[in-house]
Structure 1
Amino acid sequence: MAGNDVKLLGSWPSTFVMRPRIALNIKSVGYDFLEEQLSSRSDVLLRSNPVYKKIPVLM
């Protein structure tokens, strides 16, 4: 799945992340899934969602 323009930042067990993954798969949109650790926030998450600092983030 490398090289896609769409990126989904989330955590695997989150139901809020599963919804966009299902929608992207139904629409046959290629995406890269970037797994985020909930214990520590990455720089990508802080740049993409600076106000709430929560997942999921669709970039």
Structure 2
Amino acid sequence: MNGGRAGLFYGGGFTQLGVQAISVLACGIFAFVAAYVLLLITKGITGGLRVSEEEKLWVLI
């Protein structure tokens, strides 16, 4: 199931833990970059990420 590699608690040492830690970091970096790119695209299409004061007041009326 794990390709014959022993885990941290089954005699594999920290090798598998290191691989998993790198995988978690890679996923976190990917998620951050993807969210940032989508934010920039949204900002470019709409011209900003906040509504104007006029639009805020219109909703309150």
- Whether TM exceeds 0.5 here: the answer is no
Structure number with higher strand proportion? 1
TM-score (norm 1): 0.28
Higher-Rg structure is 2
TM-score (norm 2): 0.27
